[in-house]
Amino acid sequence: MIMKDYLLIFIGMIILMIGVLIGVAYLTLLERKVLGYIQIRKGPNKLGLIGILQPFADAIKLFTKEQTYPMFSNYLVYYFSPIVGFSLSLTLWMMIPYYFNFFSFNLGFLFFFSCTSLGVYTLMISGWSSNSNYSLLGGLRAVAQTISYEVSLAFIMMSTIIMIMDFNLLKLMDYQKFIWFLILMFPLSLCWLSSSLAETNRTPFDFAEGESELVSGFNVEYSSGGFALIFLAEYSSILFMSLMFVLMYMGGYSLSFIFYLKLSFLSFVFIWVRGTLPRYRYDKLMYLAWKSYLPISLNFLLLFLGFKIILFN
């Protein structure tokens, strides 16, 4: 009996993984389309029906490009860091909360934190090991940015955890039955949204790969497979961050269909922000993390602690 359960979970995870990969592929298509329409032009619309097959063509093109071996690079580390990053971002998807067929971690939030914190290493190591000044600068920036935003992310998340007093993600849907945490913890939820933009190195904060100053940031020296894996990892972490936002702040009832509509709306928001906002300035980014989000989230942590205590008494 337990073996059958194991088999079911295993098959479910495989299907989830394939779903994530296809979702990531179509997220790139959505991004190109949306950016196209924002700039009053059409995105890719030739391949397949209306550009439906574009992501697969992109993938085939990426995987058949030439792979480079940068001189004096630490080749083994250079080769393996995208792989580690990609498998980490797939591992993150194990904590998707369901009552059946998946794991429902008791300490899901802790699992989330351990996986996202490990993601920093792949950025740093891929920047450092390719022996280029641009990629080193991009890697340093990415590390400083991700690290600073991780602190505020953790404290904002602590407020949510204190509201539900559990690390289990399934609890979130019980506590948001009547009111979304988006409204209940209003400014803080938007802080989480922008912190997750910074955590995934998305556009208003994409200093890790600022095209205008560093050519492509930490992945200058990467071509075909390595670049594809970095790209996939980045986009799957975008999807996961929007999943976390829907879970934590928009009534995370993950069994309903509307949940996935909200998820895709939030990943659309990620792209929308990219099409709208110009890049920030690096020192302002650091100030935003340390002088604005961190004090605000700590003060709100005190507030929600008091709120919980009043409720409990």
Partner 1 sequence: MFLIMILILLFIIISNIMMFISMILSKKSNLDREKCSPFECGFDPKSSARIPFSLHFFLITVIFLIFDVEIALIFPMIKTFKLVNFFLWVKISFFFIIILLLGLYHEWNQNMIEWTN
- Contact with partner 1 (CB under 8 A): which of 34, 53, 56, 79? 79
Residues 251-310 interacting with partner 1 (rule: CB under 8 A):
282-283, 286-287, 290-291, 294-295, 298-299, 301-302, 305, 309
> DSSP readout, 50-82?
TSTTHHHHHHHHHHTSPPP--TT--HHHHHHHH
Instruction: Say which DSSP state 206 is in.
Output: -
> Taking CB under 8 A as the rule, does residue 184 contact partner 1?
no
For partner 1, give the closer residue by CB, 155 or 181. Answer: 155
Could you give the string, one character per residue 52-71, with x where binding to partner 1 holds by CB under 8 A and - elsewhere? ----------xxxxxxxxxx
d(CA 132, CA 138): 10
- By CB under 8 A, tell whether 166 contacts partner 1: yes
Which two tokens mark 109?
């939030």
Let me know: does 249 contact 192? Beta carbons within 8 Å.
Answer: yes
Write the CB contacts of 285 (distance below 8 Å, at least 6 apart in sequence).
145, 198, 205, 207
Measured from the CB atom, is 78 or 249 closer to partner 1? 78
Q: What is the smallest separation between the CB atom of 225 and partner 1, expressed in angstroms?
A: 3
Contact set for partner 1, span 143-162 (CB under 8 A): 143-144, 147-148, 150-151, 154-155, 158, 161-162
Please provide the distance, in angstroms rounded to a whole number, between the alpha carbons at the two ends of the chain: 44
As a whole number of angstroms, the distance between CA 261 and CA 265 comes to 6
Residue 229 interacts with partner 1 (CB under 8 A): yes or no:
yes
Nearer to partner 1, 20 or 266 (CB): 20
